[in-house]
Amino acid sequence: MRDRWSRRRFAVLAAGLLAVVTSAAVAPGPSTRPRYTSDGKLEPPEGYRAWVFVGADLSPQYRADLEDSTARERGRPEGTRPDTFHNIYINREAYEEFLKTRKFPDPTLLVMEVFRAAERDAKGVLARGRFEAERIGLEAAVKDTKRPGGGKDWAYYDFDIGGKSGRIRPAAAFPDDKCYTCHLHHATVDNVWVQFYPVLRDLPPLDASR
C-alpha cells in the first residue's frame, strides 16, 4: 500500500515538474517594442545583450565618408570610429519572424554597441591581438511605421553615453536623408546590411513548398 502511494505521489510530482519546465520553455519573454518619450525621442533599449547577436564589425569605414573632402579635412570620416568593435543585436520577436519569412517585421529593433579596440590588458596576459575595452557608443536602427513624427519606416538613433550620471538619455532620430538613403542603397535586405551579419546572412533558403 505504501509503495503504491509513493509511486502515485512521485508520478504527480513528476507531472507537475514537467508542466513547470514546459511552460517556462515556451513562455514568451518581455516585449521589446520601441518606446518613445512624449517629444518623440527613442528610449534606450534595455536588455539587448540577451537578444539575438547577429554579427560584429571591426573598424568599418564607408566609401562615401572617405570620399567626403570635408570629412577628410577633419581627420576622421563622418560616421566611423577607427579601431572599434561593433556588436549588433536584434530583438527576438523580429528575429523569429525573419526566420519564417526572410523579412523584417514592423516593428524591428537593431542595436549596435561600439567598443574601443585595445591591445594591452590590465593583467598583461595578451601578447597579440585586440579585445573590446570600454564602451564608447550605442546606436539603434528601428523599423516602426507608427513612430512619433512619421517619416520613413526605418529610423536611426545615436545615444549619448558620455554623461557622468551613467544614465543614457533618449535620442532623437536622424533626418531621413542622413542615414535612410545610404542604408536603402547599400543594404541587401530591407535597409539592413544583412551582408555583414552571418546569423542573418547564412540562413538556408526558405522551403518553397511550404
CB 137 within 8 A of CB 116: no
CA-nearest of 163, 158, 198 to 178 is: 158
First to last CA, the chain: 54
Q: What is the pLDDT of residue 12?
A: 44
CA-nearest of 63, 60, 61, 130 to 88 is: 60
Q: Give the DSSP letter string of 8-69.
A: HHHHHHHHHHHHHHHHHHHS--------B-TTSPBPPP-SGGGSEEEEEEES---HHHHT-H
pLDDT < 50 positions in the chain: 5, 10-29, 69-73, 75-81, 209
Per-domain residue ranges for the chain? Answer: 39-201
Dist CA 103 CA 55 (whole Å): 18
The residues pairing with 131 across neighbouring beta strands, listed in sequence order, are 118
Q: What is the pLDDT of residue 7?
A: 54
Q: What is the pLDDT of residue 20?
A: 37
pLDDT in tens, 143-198: 999 999 888 999 999 999 986 667 899 999 999 888 898 898 989 999 999 999 99
DSSP character at residue 97: H
Q: What is the pTM of this model?
A: 0.76
Total H helices, total E strands in the chain? 6, 5
Dist CA 87 CA 58 (whole Å): 9
Q: What is the pLDDT of residue 26?
A: 39
- As assigned by CATH, the class of the 39-201 domain is alpha beta
Q: What is the pLDDT of residue 210?
A: 53
CB 78 within 8 A of CB 71: yes
Dist CA 89 CA 151 (whole Å): 24
